[in-house]
Structure 1
């Protein structure tokens, strides 16, 4: 599926000179970043994708500053803008979900790539490798299916954006128009990134044999030149398919090199997407907060992580939600500092509700403690499981030991990440509870 062009011009497009508060540097910076993204070519290498992600991060840094401007907050808080603001908040949820899909697809691909590299290092023969290759391409097929669904959602979002209507008069309309422009460009960039991660089958089939031929038969310089002009992930897959079909073990080192390049590419993309993901969460929470400064009228506006996916099935998706919860509680802390919030909490008619909130916070803290204890127990079990493996290695029985060790190490790293995320959330929950208690005792 081809990516949409970056120069999407929705019906809500406003001229660059309509950006509010033109004297503010972030106004011109938003305009500049939008133009850079519109003018950029379709992502065909990890370098070009990385450039887009860096530009997205810069853009959202300025969007965050834009949302802090007093006139922006006044515009967003107006009742007549409630519908377009709600549409923007819904759009943020979909963009977060798409980012989650991209990150999960990269994680699946990285894990499969690492497993293939491990098997090649052990030189277990083509039979064992063929089985693992089939597993790899099965997981890639599942990832492509999820990406295809995400692309359809983005296309639906893009169509909805082009037909949306709102008052464009004055600075209020200019604020909404600017945010709509940002949303339109982000949709196109994410379509381009998803297409790169998917590595379209049509592109693979048309370029596979020429790419493999250059890798296996041309000089090294020519190979490097070819690599610079192709999708690193798709390139490694093409080389892998050719290697399995030919069965020529002389090319093992070439295959290992391409898989390693693919893994490095994936790691860079993961870092870029994670950074953008966190900025997107922050922007959504800020938008909800600024649009309703006296109270959060809609609970789902306060919880961006609630709309991401469903039941968490991987450590990556759980990590996303823990990060989102931590960002959320930072905004809750800001909300509790508002004079009107504090005045509302100390009113006698709200005493019962406030006490219920405090009781519920204790229950949540207790659940967090149980989860942390369970992770500590799992850490101990993992450590105990490693001891027998070491004894087997000493005794000379090393069959499948390396694989089991890798799995245990992955499990241990996963547990460590979850422990850090839970601990960060636990501390923020305590801080929020203490803040409420201090307000009540003043």
Structure 2
């Protein structure tokens, strides 16, 4: 099987948009926002994916969708969408469902993860060591389960990506307005898939015991096998991984011979950092969800008008 990079989508290169100058003035704005979003995507090539990097990607994506609202509501583009609404609008609506599902799954995961963190922090503050072990075990079981749940969320995105690869060439459209609409909607979808994939990857923990630095089920599904990581990068970790390692170490202390000499300070520090990163991601996801809902309303209006 041919390998493809999860983050740079080498099999689906994002084409640079060059729009006719005679088109609506919004074309220049959407072109600028698309280029900014693609430039932001380069930061995803750094490993490990930090929460701030992903949050910045979500914020940039939300700004892109705000710009898309003006774009699809312009008179010339409204006409183009009406002409091909059974294809373009229906496909865009299907994509919005998949994106909203992924967004909601991530929001639910972060909300529940935060609850687990708060339970562990409370037990640590009160020195309830009898409860800490069970709380940490529950946390680790939850994050393991969520890997499988996330893999299900990504399948529609992967299907969408494959479908776009087999779609007709843009040159098949002779109308300039139609060409512009198809190119913009296609690139927005590809950027959204990339950002959500990176979001999911940042929230999962690699299986470090697998030989050759292999990744977990979620990583295999999203084809990270060819993602280049330097040796020093493998030794680093983002907020999720750091908290996971600290809690595993804490659990080992409780289960060890010297269970009475437990040092929980590292775990406390890592949990605080993870909690802050979760709050940042929640802000980004809330903003993204509002934009996705507004985009869906605009598309539905095109169908009904």
What TM-score does the superposition give when structure 1 sets the normalisation length? 0.56
The partner residue of 1:129 within 112, 128, 132 is 132
* Structure 2: gaps spanning 5 or more residues: 214-232
Establish whether residue 46 from structure 1 lines up as the match of residue 51 from structure 2: yes
The partner residue of 2:188 within 170, 182, 192 is 182
Supply the distance in 1 between the matched residues of 2:51 and 2:284 (Cα, whole angstroms).
11
Supply the distance in 2 between the matched residues of 1:34 and 1:9 (Cα, whole angstroms).
19
- Residues 88 and 180 in structure 1, CA contact (< 8 A), matched pair in contact too: no
Question: What's the RMSD between the two structures over aligned residues?
Answer: 2.8
The partner residue of 1:263 within 264, 269, 275 is 275
Supply the distance in 2 between the matched residues of 1:85 and 1:115 (Cα, whole angstroms).
45
| Counterpart for residue 251 of structure 1 | 263
Q: Whose Rg is larger?
A: 1
- Counting matched residue pairs gives 270
Matches within 5 A, 1:362-377: none
Supply the distance in 1 between the matched residues of 2:181 and 2:159 (Cα, whole angstroms).
23
| Counterpart for residue 275 of structure 1 | 287
Supply the distance in 2 between the matched residues of 1:270 and 1:3 (Cα, whole angstroms).
27
Establish whether residue 241 from structure 1 lines up as the match of residue 248 from structure 2: yes
The partner residue of 1:197 within 191, 196, 203 is 203
| Counterpart for residue 77 of structure 2 | 72
| Counterpart for residue 285 of structure 1 | 297
- TM-aligned CA distance change 1:30 to 1:204, over 3 Å: farther
Supply the distance in 1 between the matched residues of 2:210 and 2:114 (Cα, whole angstroms).
19
Query: How many Å apart are 1:109 and its aligned residue?
Result: 1.1
Q: SS of 1:17's equivalent? A: coil
| Counterpart for residue 8 of structure 2 | 6
* Structure 1: gaps spanning 5 or more residues: 207-225, 295-442
The partner residue of 2:144 within 141, 144, 151 is 141
| Counterpart for residue 304 of structure 1 | none
| Counterpart for residue 29 of structure 1 | 32
- Residues 65 and 292 in structure 2, CA contact (< 8 A), matched pair in contact too: yes
Q: Which has the higher helix share?
A: 1
Query: How many Å apart are 1:6 and its aligned residue?
Result: 3.3
| Counterpart for residue 347 of structure 1 | none
- The higher-RCO structure (CA 8 Å, 6+ apart) is 2
Supply the distance in 2 between the matched residues of 1:175 and 1:287 (Cα, whole angstroms).
13
| Counterpart for residue 17 of structure 2 | 16
| Counterpart for residue 210 of structure 1 | none
The partner residue of 2:114 within 106, 110, 113 is 110
- Residues 62 and 287 in structure 2, CA contact (< 8 A), matched pair in contact too: yes
| Counterpart for residue 61 of structure 2 | 56
- TM-aligned CA distance change 1:6 to 1:189, over 3 Å: farther
Superimposed CA distance per residue, residues 12-58 of structure 1 (whole angstroms, 9 cap, x where no aligned partner): x6541137836434233233234224433246111111111111111
Supply the distance in 2 between the matched residues of 1:8 and 1:19 (Cα, whole angstroms).
27
- Residues 14 and 174 in structure 1, CA contact (< 8 A), matched pair in contact too: no
- Residues 51 and 239 in structure 2, CA contact (< 8 A), matched pair in contact too: yes
Q: SS of 1:107's equivalent? A: helix
Supply the distance in 2 between the matched residues of 1:146 and 1:152 (Cα, whole angstroms).
11
Superimposed CA distance per residue, residues 337-368 of structure 1 (whole angstroms, 9 cap, x where no aligned partner): xxxxxxxxxxxxxxxxxxxxxxxxxxxxxxxx
- Residues 77 and 293 in structure 1, CA contact (< 8 A), matched pair in contact too: no
Supply the distance in 1 between the matched residues of 2:294 and 2:146 (Cα, whole angstroms).
27
The partner residue of 1:84 within 64, 88, 103 is 88
What TM-score does the superposition give when structure 2 sets the normalisation length? 0.79
Matches within 5 A, 1:144-155: 144-155=147-158
- Residues 53 and 272 in structure 1, CA contact (< 8 A), matched pair in contact too: yes
- Residues 26 and 63 in structure 1, CA contact (< 8 A), matched pair in contact too: no
